[in-house]
Amino acid sequence: MNCIYCGNKSAERLCEEHRTIPVLDELLELVGRYAPERCENPHVSAYVESFEKWRDAYQTDFPSVLALFPDEEIEYQRCFYLGDVKDATFEDAAIAFLDTHDWADRQSQVIMHMLLQVYNRREFFKPVPYVDFISETEGLLHELYTSAVGFMGMTGDYDEATELVEFAKGQAVAGVLSRWGRGVDSQLSSLDEALEQNEKWRNRPYWPKNPEAREQLSEIYASKGIELGKRGGPGRTAVWPKKVSPKDFVPLEVIDAIPDDFCAVWLRDVPGRVKGICEIIAVKVEDGDQAGDFESLVRPWKVSRGDKSLAASCLGVTCEEMDSAPDVFEAFPRLLEFAGGLPLVLADSSQLKLLERAARYSGIPKVENLVCSLDEIADGETSFAASVLDGITGTHASESAYRFAGMHELDEPAFDSFVAFDTETTGFGRNDQITEIGAVRVVDGEVVERFQMLANPGKGIPGPVQRLTGITDAMVADAKPYQDVAVLFKEFAGDAVLVGHNVGFDIRMLAQAALPTGTDFTNDYFDTNRYAKRLKQAQGWEMTKLGYLAEKLGVELSNAHRALADAEATAGIYLKLKALQAL
């Protein structure tokens, strides 16, 4: 046997001298793109032409050349070869390669381009993360930009495709490289062709012949409200705003200290590689206490049905609930409205990236709130904020987080009999549990009965929370389990209207505790904090916190048990608010 590179006698296809990565790279090009008139190596020509069909040398025999190298040394070359011969295992190999290499590396760009060619006009969910990366990154291969423009046009992102064409033209003029060696004029010409095709698809949306591809594209069009006439199904009525490009987005203003009052935010990303979110959870903290919470499912965008099912499974909801959830451009502005002007505290830099991404996809060029990332702050300064975030970042969500959403909230204080209540918990998140429930029954404006009970949360109470609530692990060690206490409270409350200050949080904690017992809270409820905000300006109040309102309205705080004291204060505040309404 002769070495196919130098012709010398060899026990293998390559002699020891030429068993190198540069030689392998050269052979991939010479054999994989073989043409007699272009091949200047006579030994390679003799090797290829020894086969009945020259392509057989590459497809059937060249793996023996690859086998001469350790796998860890030729990850790229092996993956390139699989893509070049259109091997069925290429997709998995390409994804594995991209998962372990920097996407901006030249070799990664080549593999990504080959993968996008495999996906072209057949897959519309899988290319999303790669197309998003391309649209936001300078200095990539020209062919990646044209591939991304084509994908955007086929999936209805016509304006984004137009913007990317202009961006890519600037890159071409600046000297961006081409995988196929195209010059500037050729690059500009291909981009003009891509832009022309994009405009055709804008006037008549692309519709593939492949049934599986049509199903994917139909779902994408529906999410964007694109009408397909007789060719496709009905679309969602919501129309996405124009996405803000990275260059037009004002960088988040990051602070390096945790303020006393803040809004802790958790953005749950979609399982897998798609950089989208499927849930937003937030808790406001004012004066060291919970001052309201926010939860919203987010309908995943540009993801496959399988990813959507996985997101639903992780969240403990049905696929139908996931699919009917608000889009990010509907949910994210509500988060900002909930947070008001409070700084947003997030767990780490990856959450900051998701926050920016959610804003850009919502058409928001700037988040006015200051932001703080706990991983950038010394551990000793993060304990309380970390405990808040720890409570809302659980791996698995409970369906009880959304179960109470079917209860009816009353808008006006038009009733005289109710149960005012408050809960103390191990924290403010879905992984936390109740440590105390306090309540008072009010009939015709008079307190007639009280309920107060400590609860064993089945977990340790964090130190910051013990200091905040005054409830220690020792105090709840012999108490009834939190599930039983929730059921006992339901028996106390019956079907009465439940009144609370920031009552959504307390109801969620009740529902979460009662869920394993099969007990449902279906009561109507009223939030004194929400109603007080409506009167705030007219009454000249500076805020609507419980203690502040109690002082302004002359409601006494007297009970030693924190939950019961807050329940009594809430009852008094409700009656005062009702009296103000009557004036």
Site of tokens 């007699």? 36
Which tokens hold the place of 327? 């889009």
Residues facing residue 424 across a β-bridge: 436
Which tokens hold the place of 145? 């930009």
Residue 447 makes CB contacts below 8 A (sequence gap 6+) with 440, 441, 568, 571
Residue 192 makes CB contacts below 8 A (sequence gap 6+) with none
The span from the CA of 36 to the CA of 30, in Å, is 10
Site of tokens 């899988």? 126
Give the CA count within 13 Å in the CB-facing half-sphere of 43: 15
Site of tokens 């390096």? 256
Asked if 189 and 201 touch (Cβ cutoff 8 Å), the reply is: no
Asked if 439 and 451 touch (Cβ cutoff 8 Å), the reply is: yes
Give the total residue count for the chain.
583
Q: How far is CA 440 from CA 156, 324, 470, 565, 569, in A?
A: 56, 38, 21, 10, 10
Residue 38 makes CB contacts below 8 A (sequence gap 6+) with none
Active-site residue 561, yes or no?
Answer: yes
Which tokens hold the place of 424? 């103390």
Asked if 221 and 235 touch (Cβ cutoff 8 Å), the reply is: yes
DSSP class of 37: T
Which of 18, 113, 142, 561 is flagged as catalytic? 561
Cα–Cα–Cα angle for 376, 103, 303, nearest 5°?
85
Ramachandran class of 86: left when φ > 0, alpha when ψ lies in -120 to 50, beta otherwise: left
Q: Which residues are catalytic?
A: 561
